[in-house]
Chains A and B, each alone.
Chain A
Amino acid sequence: LIRSEGAGGLAQWVLVELQGEVVPRQSGALAGSLLGDLHYTCEGVPVLIVGHHILYGKVVQLEKPFAVLVKQGAGEPGPAGPHTHYTVTALIKTKLLFKTRPKPIITNVPKKV
């Protein structure tokens, strides 16, 4: 794991891993849209509600943590320009893995006829 020289700890982020793709409801952009609601049950099980689907997941401690890198000084390539380098801005040690099939939430169950 690469250490940063920054004083104090690095920001800790969390990874959410979903199977498949996330697509915006209307054909808008993803940016700025609401993804969904994340809850935890009393037992610490993460629950994600996306649209009218519900997904159950689990908290996984990553064996190999991730570092989030931000590119700095992206100038012209070559000896004259500033050299590109990356700084570590955050670490991710935990992920919320959702790999079960999303279940549609049905609020109105028709009575048997």
Chain B
Amino acid sequence: SLVIRGEKDEQAVLCSKDKTYDMKIADTSNMLLFIPGCKTPEELNADQASCDIIHSQVAGFSNNYWELRRCRPKLKKLRKLLMEDPYEGPDSRKDQTLTFSKYTTEDLLSLIQASEEEILHQLHVIDACKIEGYWRVLEFDYEMKLLNHVTQLIDSESWSLSKVPLRTCLEELGSLEPREMIEHILLSYGRKYIDDGEVYFEMHEDKICRAIAQMLLQNAVKFNLSEFQEVWQQSVPEGMTARLDQLKGLALVDKTSRPETIFLLKVEDLPEDNQERFNSLFSIREKWTEVDITPYIQDLCAEKQTVGALLTKYARSSMQNGVKVYNSRRPIS
């Protein structure tokens, strides 16, 4: 079955179980009559027997119809809603009885313009978890606190990063944090598997390094690149390598400043609409190379659309010092 979703100030979309479509009403000056069971010439030819009159009814008629076009699910609102009240841990001094900013799956289905599967998938992508029936995202500092407990334990136990035992984590850390939270952080930053009946996690090096970079970068407008890289490598767990390519869509390096600098720029903070996204990117930086801009427009690609196609449509290219760069098609104020 299909559902139409959208609030009064939003453009309606039609959702199946797993896809989302933009809806437009199309008018025709012609009249469209729909006839159930009406036979086409081919069907009648096959049925040689009858020369009788078949009584058919016109089920209805219309001057307009809905035209659907598959579109990207509108999921930015999901993160926005869940960030209204991020979970700060059981010791948080926030008033836990205020529930108006909390959302169940049902709530999200009626507020988010996307299909159920797309919503559930996105909840998984943003590492949301269900606490007391409500979907929550962790407040970043709390998330880092949990991650830190785990990485310190890995270090003190000298475990391999690809074989972190769930049971021991729960035993050792269960007195510090709720068990569900310990398991949640392991699921968010690792891949769960079972070996010989025991549950283990293979930790995601890239994701952990990236989170630590975010923690460092969010405290200042920008950083000296080489200083940042040094501090960052010292901050990541033993055995992990911090690399700039882990920061795609999270931070941007300014190679034109002397010395080179790096600053936080999260793709999820940018507008969802294509034109607005490009306007925003070009107001941050006038000219972009394809390598630099790709992580910030990748999510705009429709089914079977490439980054190149997007750039052709929304940007203008030119050569700068032998390198192809992209800038806005129109002046940005």
List chain A positions with a Cβ less than 8 A from chain B. 2, 11, 13-22, 35, 37-38, 40, 44-46, 59, 66, 68-69, 72, 79, 83-88, 90, 92, 94, 99
Contact = CB atoms under 8 A, between A and B. Distances in A.
Contact of A21 (B4, B31, B106, B107): B31
Given A44-B42, A86-B1, A19 B33 contact: no
B65 interface: yes
Contact of B3 (A11, A17, A44, A83): A83
A74 B40 CA distance: 34
Contacts of A92: 34
A86 B32 contact: no
Contact of B33 (A16, A88, A90): A16
B199 interface: no
A80 to B, nearest CB: 11
B214 to A, nearest CB: 35
A96 B107 CA distance: 44
- Judged by DSSP, the binding face of B is mixed
A59 B41 contact: yes
A14 to B, nearest CB: 4
B54 to A, nearest CB: 9
A84 B3 contact: yes
A83 B37 contact: no
A103 B56 CA distance: 24
B265 to A, nearest CB: 37
Contact of B30 (A18, A40, A79, A90): A18
A27 B180 CA distance: 71
Contacts of A99: 30
Nearest to B61: A22
Nearest to A93: B40
23 contacts: A13-B35, A13-B36, A13-B37, A13-B59, A16-B38, A16-B58, A17-B32, A18-B30, A20-B30, A20-B31, A22-B61, A40-B44, A44-B41, A45-B41, A59-B40, A68-B34, A72-B1, A79-B106, A84-B3, A85-B2, A88-B2, A90-B34, A90-B36
